[in-house]
Structure formats: structure tokens, C-alpha cells
Structure 1
Amino acid sequence: MTDYMEITEAFHQARTAADVTDRATGLEEADRIGGVALVQARLQGDGRPDCLDCGEDILPARRQAVKNAVRCKECQDDHDKREARRHG
């Protein structure tokens, strides 16, 4: 849960930043925190009890089907779509 709170704080700082550079720095920090949490979960072979993106609990059925899940199904679908667009 700490990762989620750190990401939330970084997004808040980005939204309230005085200039574009500070906003970009906040977004980069949120992305870095999320990436570190994802790598840690994958290295441990465990998922998370809560979604990395929205913070809601990951349903037991998803956790059973995808042992190392770090996002709920809806957030994972959104993430996959963003990544597909980003990588063309």
C-alpha cells in the first residue's frame, strides 16, 4: 500500500506544480515508483493484494488465475492498451 500512497503523492505534486518541468518530474517519479513496485512483485513471484493503479483490492479469482498480478483486470486492460499504443 505504501507504493500506492507514494504514487498518489507524486501525481498530486504533478497536478499542483507551478510549471511544466515540475509536473513532468512528478509524473516521472510516479512512473518510477510504479515500475519498482512491479519489478519487486515479479521477482518475489507474488502479486499484490491491491491494484498498483487504482488501489482497489484485486479479486481473489484474478489472484488465483494470475499469481503475480499487480493490477485489477480493468486497470491491466487499460495498461495493456496504453503500452500497445506506445509501442505501435
Structure 2
Amino acid sequence: MSDFAEMAEAFEQARTAPDVTDRATGLEEADRIGGVAMVRERLQGQGAEECEECGIEIPAARRRAAPWAVCCVDCQGLREGRV
């Protein structure tokens, strides 16, 4: 089953759940599936074109050197505590 299909199923279960606790559980499951899909994409080398932190375009040279990158060099340095 694809990640999208699993997420759709979890959302449908949350939508039709009989009580608040079951709805919350379904939404948490959908969120978990979405997070797993995002990590899979990053591990497969599908990074971002724009920095998640500052929104500027990640230079092509950085995307070639680190295809999984989701931050520009400056913001990555801040994340890692180097700056």
C-alpha cells in the first residue's frame, strides 16, 4: 500500500471515528505516515530547492553535493551549532 493510500485510510478512519480519542489516534497515525514518507524521500536524495529555515533558494552546487539537503549552508550550520 502506498503512503498516500495509508494516509487517506487513516484520515477516513479519523473522520468516521465514534469518539474524540479515536479521531485523535487516526490523525496521529496519518501524521506519522506523512513523516515517514518525508524521511524516505530525503534518504533517497530528494532534498529541497528552497531552505526550510530562511526560504532562500539552495544553490545548485549544494544540491549536487548533498542531494538530501533541506537547508542552505548557513542555516545548516546554525542547526548544527557551528555558527
TM tier relative to shorter chain:
0.5 to 0.7
1:51 is matched with none
What TM-score, normalized by structure 2, do the two folds share?
0.54
The one-letter code of the counterpart of 1:29 is: E
2:74 is matched with none
2:7 is matched with 7
CA RMSD of aligned residues (A): 2.3
Question: 2:17, 2:35 → 1: CA distance?
Answer: 22
What TM-score, normalized by structure 1, do the two folds share?
0.51
Question: 1:9, 1:43 → 2: CA distance?
Answer: 25
The one-letter code of the counterpart of 2:15 is: R
Structure 1 unaligned spans of 5+: 48-64, 69-88
Over residues 14-45 of structure 1, what are the superposed CA-to-partner deviations in whole Å (9 max), with x where a residue is unaligned? 00000000000000000000000000100111
Number of residue pairs aligned between Structure 1 and Structure 2 = 51
2:22 is matched with 22
Correspondence 1:31 to 2:31: yes
Over residues 30-79 of structure 1, what are the superposed CA-to-partner deviations in whole Å (9 max), with x where a residue is unaligned? 000000000010011137xxxxxxxxxxxxxxxxx9977xxxxxxxxxxx
1:45 is matched with 45
Structure 2 unaligned spans of 5+: 48-59, 69-83
- Percent identity between the aligned chains? 73
TM superposition outliers: structure 1 runs of 4+ over 4 Å: 65-68
